[in-house]
Amino acid sequence: MPEILRHPGTVLTDHVFSVPLDHARPDGERIEVFAREVVAADKEREELPWLLFLQGGPGHSSPRPVGRDAWLPVALRHYRVLLLDQRGTGRSTPANRQSLAARGAAEDQAAYLAHFRADSIVRDAEHIRRELLGEGSTWSTLGQSFGGFCTLAYLSYAPESIREAFVTGGLPGLRTDVAEVYRAAYPRVAAKNAQFYARYPGDVRRVREIVEHLAAHEVKLADGSPLTVERFQWLGMLLGQGSGAHTLHYLLENAWVRGVTGPELSDGFLEAVRAQVSLAGAPLFATVHESCYAQRSVSPEGTRWAAQRVRAEFPDFDAERALRTPDAPVYFTGEMIYPWMFDVDPALIPLRETARRLAERGDWPDLYDPRRLAANEVPVYAAVYHDDMYVDREHSLATARAVPNTRVWVTNEWEHDALRVSGGAVLERLIGMARGEV
């Protein structure tokens, strides 16, 4: 029997589904996928339409709600919500260094992880829809970031199952080569760096001092892993969030403490850095991140560490070069996955060879069907953030033009994390568009 919990104002029902690892082989190996049903307590017995939430990432579990928080209050006025732990995350069958070790060699692990992209996730959703709602049923979807990528794959694979689709910061380029994804990304990250340093000009000196120290000393985090210059630069992931620049500034201002031999990086600072740069909680984010862009008809040679290859074209991110120029800012990087991560992060080191094999794979199935999408009849309502650091605005708008029945709200009021931090305002706007109120 499903476990039922009652939180303030909500009723939560836990579901576990057995699905094929490879949906092309339904009689083969099976894994578990977990999903949590959420309904407003005063609507528990009502026949409500369903809203499937597709989490961003890839490799992150769905939210763990406590009562009516974040965007849920808006959604629960209209829907019964299903929070899906995409395969490999949360309470679904895990995919991490511990579980993958049991699968044997790196080639076997890579073959297994090839089934953890958007195409498999939407097939899981279809399996769940049929089991939970019945054949011939439909539901609405809400895709945040990578969840929007899943939405476009869903519209390519089974549009007849979707009543309406909401997308927040996640319309992908349908025919965009993975290298072009990063050629578009680095300038956006550079712009966020410029804005950060304009807001906090004193941090130019602070960051330079930290980078100079890291370049000259071996510094380790509490888990024993090294804090290198490149790893420190990865704190730029914060700059794409609404309050990320402030979070980064406050982190930097407490960097130093005077020790026996002079100034050194404080334990508190190093722990705050570790919490941001460790991928122990989401190893799939690193392992399959670039693969979520791979399509054999677009990038037949595979991803081949695209972010690392393209980085050389943008010398502003060269920390050594910045230090050779007096008073030059050291730029942080963004949502890029680099091969060095698998040399320094304890959660990723055992997966180094597995990640290499995934990066070299060239026969990734296409995720999107442009011809089927060109005939789309499902209403799509998408928030596109004008200054989104993670998902390119122009790629998103090109996709919106290519997919009929897509209405777009372009705004610079919010950043990429707006669904979570806007108090429901973003979802309210999109539902209002769907209801003809906006």
Specify the CATH number for the domain of residue 66.
Answer: 3.40.50.1820
Instruction: Give the pLDDT score at 239.
Output: 98
Q: What is the distance between the alpha carbons of residues 155 and 372, in angstroms, rounded to a whole number?
A: 8
What are the φ/ψ torsions at residue 162 (nearest 5 degrees)?
Answer: -110, 125
- 213 and 274 in a single domain? The answer is yes
3-class DSSP state for residue 40?
strand
pLDDT of residue 152: 98
Domain boundary among 331, 360, 389: 360
- pTM, entire model: 0.96
Same domain, 261 and 403: no
Angle formed at CA 230 by CA 229 and CA 231, multiple of 5 degrees: 90
Confirm if 72 and 38 have CB atoms less than 8 A apart: yes
Whether 163 and 196 map to the same domain: the answer is no
What is the rounded average pLDDT of the residues 220-227?
Answer: 97
Residues 36 and 69 in one domain: yes
Please report the sign of the dihedral spanned by the C-alpha atoms of residue 96, residue 145, residue 290, residue 391.
negative
Calpha distance 110→425 (Å, rounded): 40
Q: Which of 312, 332, 360 lies at the terminal end of a domain, its last residue?
A: 360
| Whole-number pLDDT of residue 363 | 92
pLDDT, tens digit, for every residue of 46-102? Answer: 999 999 999 999 999 999 998 777 899 999 999 999 999 999 999 999 999 999 999
Give the model confidence (pLDDT) of 377-431 as tens digits.
999 999 999 999 999 999 999 999 999 999 999 999 999 999 999 999 999 999 9
Whether residues 24 and 120 share a domain: the answer is yes
Query: Looking at this protein, which amino acid is placed at residue 124?
Result: D
Q: What is the pLDDT, as a whole number, of residue 438? A: 84
Q: Which domain holds residue 237?
A: 178-360
What is the Cα–Cα distance from 116 to 85, expressed in whole angstroms? 12
Q: What are the two backbone dihedrals, phi and then psi, of residue 293, each rounded to the nearest 5 degrees?
A: -100, -10
Those residues whose C-beta lies under 8 Å from the C-beta of residue 74, and which sit 6 or more positions away, are 424, 427, 428, 431
Average pLDDT over residues 216-225: 96
Q: If pLDDT is split at 50, 70 and 90, which confidence band does 181 have? A: very high
Catalytic residue among 291, 416, 417, 422: 416
C-alpha 105/C-alpha 92 separation (Å) is 23
At 231 the pLDDT is: 98
> Are 250 and 340 contained in the same domain?
yes
**Mean pLDDT computed over every residue of the chain:** 97
Strand pairing category for 4-7 and 30-40? unpaired
Same domain? For 155 and 222 the reply is: no
> Do 303 and 248 reside in the same domain of the chain?
yes
Q: Report CA 248 to chain centroid distance, whole Å.
A: 19
State the pLDDT confidence band at 27, using cuts at 50, 70 and 90: very high
For residue 363, the tally of other CB atoms under 10 A from its CB is 9
**How deeply is 117 buried, as exposed, middle or buried, from its count of CB atoms within 10 A (0-12, 13-18, 19+)?**
buried
Number of domains in the chain: 2
β-pair type (10-20, 4-7): antiparallel
Q: What is the DSSP letter of 339?
A: T
| Confidence check: pLDDT of 185 > 90 | yes
CA distance 161 to 172: 21
Tens digits of per-residue pLDDT, 338-370? 999 999 999 999 999 999 999 999 999 999 999
Mean pLDDT, residues 279-298 taken together: 97
Over range 245-259, report the average pLDDT: 96
Three-class SS state of 317 = helix
Give the pLDDT score at 378: 98
In this prediction, residues 148-158 reach a mean pLDDT of: 98
Do both 137 and 98 map to the same domain?
yes
| Spatial separation of the C-alpha atoms in residues 383 and 416, rounded to whole Å | 10
Residue 2 pLDDT: 79
Considering the domain architecture, whether residues 60 and 147 belong to the same structural domain is answered as: yes
Residue among 145, 161, 225, 396 flagged as catalytic: 145
Cα dist from 143 to 4, 257, 391, 437, whole Å = 25, 43, 13, 21
Half-sphere exposure of 343 (CA within 13 A, CB side): 7
Helices (H), 102-145: 106-113, 118-133
- The b-or-e profile of 26-37 (16+ CB within 10 A means b, else e) is eeeeebebbbbb
pLDDT value at position 375? 98
87 and 64, same domain (yes or no) = yes
- Contact call for residues 337 and 351 (beta carbons, < 8 A): no
Distance between CA atoms of residues 296 and 154, nearest Å: 18
Q: What is the CB-side half-sphere exposure of residue 85 using CA atoms within 13 A?
A: 21
State yes or no: pLDDT of 249 exceeds 90.
yes
Residue 261's pLDDT is 87
At residue 165 the predicted structure's pLDDT band, cuts being 50, 70 and 90, is: very high
Q: Residue 166: pLDDT above 80?
A: yes
Q: Is 145 a catalytic residue?
A: yes
Q: In the listed set 360, 388, 410, which residue is the last one of a domain according to the structure?
A: 360
The pLDDT value recorded for residue 262 is 87
Is the confidence at residue 44, as pLDDT, over 90?
A: yes
Q: Which pLDDT value is given to residue 382?
A: 98
Sort 304 into a burial class: Cβ within 10 Å, 0-12 / 13-18 / 19+: middle
Tell me: pLDDT of 1 over 80.
no
**Residue 120: strand, helix, or coil:** helix
Q: Say yes or no: 151 and 182 in one domain.
A: no
In the sheet that holds 139-144, the strands lie side by side as 4-7, 10-20, 30-40, 80-84, 50-54, 139-144, 162-168, 380-385, 406-411
